[in-house]
Structure 1
Amino acid sequence: MSIHTVSLLVEAIFLKAKSLQHLQRFREAAQTCKVILDIVEFSIPQGLPENFTADCKVQETLNEAVKMLPELWKCSDSPHEAILSYQQALLHQWNLDAETIARIQNQFALFLLYYGGEALPPNPCSQMDGSFIPRNNIEEAILLLMILLKRVSMKRIEWDPSILDHLSFALSLSGDLRALANQIEELLPGFICRKERYHSFMLLWNRRRFGSFESIAKIVA
């Protein structure tokens, strides 16, 4: 098929998914939206080429489908499908811009931290040799948030203070606050003011000394 025909087909499927979403038939909308991504992923397993262009908005439709699918699964109360769709969005090459990828990573991390269930790990076949595969939700959320902080320090994305807040919570659950201290230390001057930086280091030091944030709260009170 010509690129024009493919574009019309993809756009028609996407519009059907949007219509089902408007009717609040979220599971059907998600299943319809997933068809688009599965077709592209199966047809181009190595990912879309960086110079891929489409006169008929194929790229734009794919971008919207990638962002919409996890939200549809969440609205249909299907957390595991939502997690798999987040992983599909991040592991496959969709030619998303840096801010869109960061937004998806942030949303995925928050979902892993707060939705209350346990995720399925990413498919090992989709990982690069020797790459780290998270063992649970907390580890995967921490990995995503650390990636976001790294991109902030490299000035590839805009600074979002909530990233550090959520990472602090995740690392406190895992008991590994030294990693948080390293992340704070690596942030370039200007992202965190000196007063806030020293305040964070003091909390981390007291956390190690007294064993819990509850103990610190009692001392402050």
Structure 2
Amino acid sequence: MTAGLFPAERAEVAPGAVHIPGWLSPGRQRELVRSCRHWARGPVPFRHTRLPRGGVMSVQTVCLGWHWQPYRHTRTADDVNGAPVAEFPDWLVALGREALLDAYGEQGVASVEPSGYTPDTALINFYDGDARMGMHQDKEERSGAPVVSLSIGDTCLFRFGNTENRGRPYTDVELSSGDLFVFGGTARFAYHGVPKVYPGTAEPSLGLTGRLNITLRETGFDA
């Protein structure tokens, strides 16, 4: 892992894919940790998602707005307890718009202006020290609006690839607590994954052991 001698700088990893280190203040991170703990209690709790071929994901997931299960979104968690998914709060919409504005500016990307960005679902993934995420595309949504990804807790190695396959070319980026990563435009359907988490790297004041990743998306379903 890279030593923190110099502050990490904003970087465009690929056209439309922007990494902004330290975007969330420590106070905002703690607020999101508290919110995630609230959502984890239900109505649909954190769970290890079972894949169609029988495998079980090592990360634990809870959803807002729409419930994700491979490979579709529903309003009820039929693969968990049948309960309606928790509502997507307005303050997360505002946070997503703020993220797009800082990542792209007022013009946005691919005809999506930050002021019009209206995410209606969030996937919240929790990684312990052994959890991983294989290379995949976020393509179950009908909307091509950008994905806003927030990292809290332990640092991870994030692999951002191409739109054609799971292999090279890809770029490895360290995502630390408070980092923002946005991908839209031509990068919206790039393969990406998390091959490694660095346990014990979270700031102790967070009161969090592990890594939380919150991704905000527009589904396009209601339209």
Q: TM-score, normalised by structure 1?
A: 0.26
Q: Compare the two structures and name the one with the higher strand fraction.
A: 2
Q: TM-score, normalised by structure 2?
A: 0.25
Q: Which has the larger radius of gyration?
A: 1
Q: Compare the two structures and name the one with the higher helix fraction.
A: 1
* Higher relative contact order, structure no. (Cα contacts within 8 Å, ≥ 6 residues apart): 2
